[in-house]
C-alpha cells in the first residue's frame, strides 16, 4: 500500500472522480478526510449523504475515514477542513483539490452570478484549502519538522485548451494550472510538491454534455471513461513515491497518462529599436510562420 500512514484530504469526494480518489487512497492505506457538500450538479443545496457513504465504504473495508461538509471556497470552512484532518488523525500529508460544479453557458450569454459561482468553487476553493494546508506545513517546517507533503489540483482539458460553452469553467481551470506552478515554486522549501491533473472520465459534469463519448462500452470489457481510472495516478501523486515530481500537469484518461506541455517562450523578432506600428504586421507574420499552430479549443468547428 503506497499511502500507508498518510493522511489525505479529498474535496468533492462524495461522487464521481473525487469518490474514486477517496476510495483508492483508503485502499492504499491513507486515512481520508472525505469532504463534500452534497450539492447538485449546479452547486445548489447540500446533504451529508454522499460523503457519509464514501467514508463508510472506506471504514467497512478496514480503512480510516472521517466526513467534513465544509464549503471549500469559504475561508473559515477551508481552515476547518484542515483542522478535521489534524483533530481526527493528528497530521496532514496531502490535499487533493477536486470539488467543483458547472454552469455551462456561451461567453456572450454567461451572467455575472454564473461566472462568479463557477470561479469561486473551482479557483477560490483550490486556493482556500491549499492555503490552509500550506500554512500548516510552513509553520511546522519552520519549527524544524520535515515534510513530504503533496498538493494535487484538478484542472481539465478545458483549462488546457478551452472549451466552447464553458468560458467560466475553462478560465477557472486554466487559472488552477498557473496556481499549481506557483505553489510548486514557493512550497518546495517546506517539503511540499504541487501537481495538477486534467482528467477525462464519466461524471455528472460530462455524461450529459458528452453523452456518446462518456457512455460505457456496450460490449463490456475495459471502460475507458470509468472515473476509477483516474484514481491510481492521484494515489501515486499523494504518496511518498512521487517525491521530486512537482509543477507538472498530467492528462489522464482510461489507461493513458500524459504530461501536458504548457506555455513556453516561443519564437521572437527583435529589431533592437522601437517598432513602428506599420512594421508589426510583418513581424507577427514571421513569428507565426515559425510557431506551431495552437491546439483547437474543445467543441470548436474543425
Q: Mind listing the pLDDT tens digit for each residue in 126-144?
A: 999 999 999 999 999 999 9
Statement: the pTM of the whole predicted model exceeds 0.85 = yes
Average pLDDT estimate for 200-211: 63
Task: List the catalytic residues.
Answer: 156, 169, 173
Helices then strands (H, E): number in the chain?
Answer: 10, 8
Confidence of residue 182 (pLDDT cuts 50, 70, 90): very high
- Tell me how far apart the alpha carbons of residues 165 and 143 are, in angstroms, rounded to a whole number: 48
Taking the CB of residue 73, how many other CB atoms lie within 10 A of it?
22
| Sign of torsion over alpha carbons 226, 162, 97, 144 | positive
Q: What is the DSSP letter of 166?
A: B
pLDDT for the residue numbered 219: 72
Confidence of residue 203 (pLDDT cuts 50, 70, 90): low
Judged against a pLDDT cut of 80, whether residue 211 lies above it is answered with no
pLDDT for the residue numbered 28: 98
- Tell me how far apart the alpha carbons of residues 283 and 213 are, in angstroms, rounded to a whole number: 42
- Nearest C-alpha neighbor of 29 from the set 6, 51, 55: 6
- Tell me how far apart the alpha carbons of residues 203 and 257 are, in angstroms, rounded to a whole number: 19
- pLDDT tens across 238-281, in order? 999 999 999 999 999 999 999 998 888 999 999 999 999 999 99
Average pLDDT estimate for 36-62: 81
The DSSP bridge pattern shows strands 64-68 and 192-200 to be: unpaired
Average pLDDT estimate for 229-234: 97
pLDDT for the residue numbered 227: 95
Averaged pLDDT of the chain = 93
Question: In this predicted model, which residue has the larger pLDDT, 124 or 294?
Answer: 124
pLDDT for the residue numbered 40: 56
Q: For domain 7-259, say whether CATH 3.40.50.720 is its number.
A: yes
Question: In this predicted model, which residue has the larger pLDDT, 215 or 159?
Answer: 159
Q: What is the DSSP letter of 52?
A: H
| Sign of torsion over alpha carbons 84, 89, 93, 98 | negative
The C-alpha cell 498530467 sits at 250
Confidence of residue 43 (pLDDT cuts 50, 70, 90): very low
- Tell me how far apart the alpha carbons of residues 192 and 200 are, in angstroms, rounded to a whole number: 26
Cell of 157: 482539458
pLDDT for the residue numbered 279: 97
State what percent of residues in the chain have pLDDT above 90.
Answer: 84
Judged against a pLDDT cut of 70, whether residue 204 lies above it is answered with no
Confidence of residue 41 (pLDDT cuts 50, 70, 90): low
Lowest-pLDDT choice from 36-40, 101-105, 170-174? 36-40
State what percent of residues in the chain have pLDDT above 70.
Answer: 92
Confidence of residue 225 (pLDDT cuts 50, 70, 90): confident
DSSP H or E run through 196: strand 192-200
pLDDT for the residue numbered 220: 73
Amino acid at each position: 500500500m503506497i499511502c500507508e500512514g498518510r493522511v489525505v484530504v479529498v474535496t468533492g469526494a462524495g461522487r464521481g472522480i473525487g469518490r474514486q480518489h477517496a476510495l483508492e487512497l483508503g485502499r492504499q492505506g491513507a486515512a481520508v478526510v472525505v469532504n463534500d457538500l452534497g450539492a447538485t450538479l449546479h452547486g445548489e443545496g447540500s446533504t451529508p449523504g454522499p460523503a457519509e457513504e464514501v467514508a463508510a465504504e472506506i471504514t467497512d473495508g478496514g480503512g480510516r475515514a472521517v466526513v467534513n461538509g465544509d464549503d471549500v471556497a469559504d475561508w473559515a470552512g477551508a481552515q476547518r477542513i484542515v483542522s478535521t484532518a489534524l483533530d481526527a488523525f493528528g497530521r496532514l500529508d496531502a490535499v487533493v483539490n477536486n470539488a467543483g460544479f458547472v454552469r455551462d453557458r456561451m461567453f456572450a450569454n454567461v451572467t455575472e452570478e454564473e461566472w462568479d459561482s463557477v470561479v469561486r468553487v473551482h479557483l477560490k476553493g483550490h486556493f482556500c484549502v491549499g492555503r490552509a494546508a500550506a500554512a500548516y506545513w510552513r509553520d511546522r517546517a519552520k519549527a524544524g519538522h520535515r515534510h513530504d507533503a503533496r498538493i494535487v489540483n484538478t484542472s481539465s482539458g478545458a483549462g488546457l485548451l478551452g472549451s466552447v460553452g464553458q468560458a467560466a469553467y475553462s478560465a477557472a481551470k486554466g487559472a488552477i494550472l498557473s496556481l499549481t506552478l506557483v505553489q510548486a515554486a514557493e512550497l518546495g522549501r517546506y517539503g511540499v510538491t504541487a501537481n495538477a491533473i486534467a482528467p477525462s472520465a464519466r461524471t455528472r459534469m460530462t455524461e450529459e454534455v458528452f453523452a456518446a463519448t462518456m457512455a460505457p462500452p456496450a460490449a463490456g470489457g475495459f471502460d475507458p471513461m470509468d472515473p476509477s481510472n483516474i484514481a491510481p495516478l492521484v494515489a501515486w501523486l499523494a504518496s511518498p513515491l512521487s517525491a521530486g515530481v512537482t509543477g507538472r500537469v498530467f492528462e489522464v484518461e482510461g489507461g493513458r497518462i500524459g504530461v501536458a506541455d504548457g506555455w513556453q517562450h516561443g519564437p521572437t523578432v527583435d529589431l533592437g529599436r522601437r517598432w513602428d506600428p506599420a512594421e508589426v504586421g510583418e513581424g507577427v507574420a514571421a513569428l507565426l510562420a515559425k510557431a506551431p499552430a495552437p491546439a483547437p479549443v474543445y467543441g470548436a468547428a474543425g
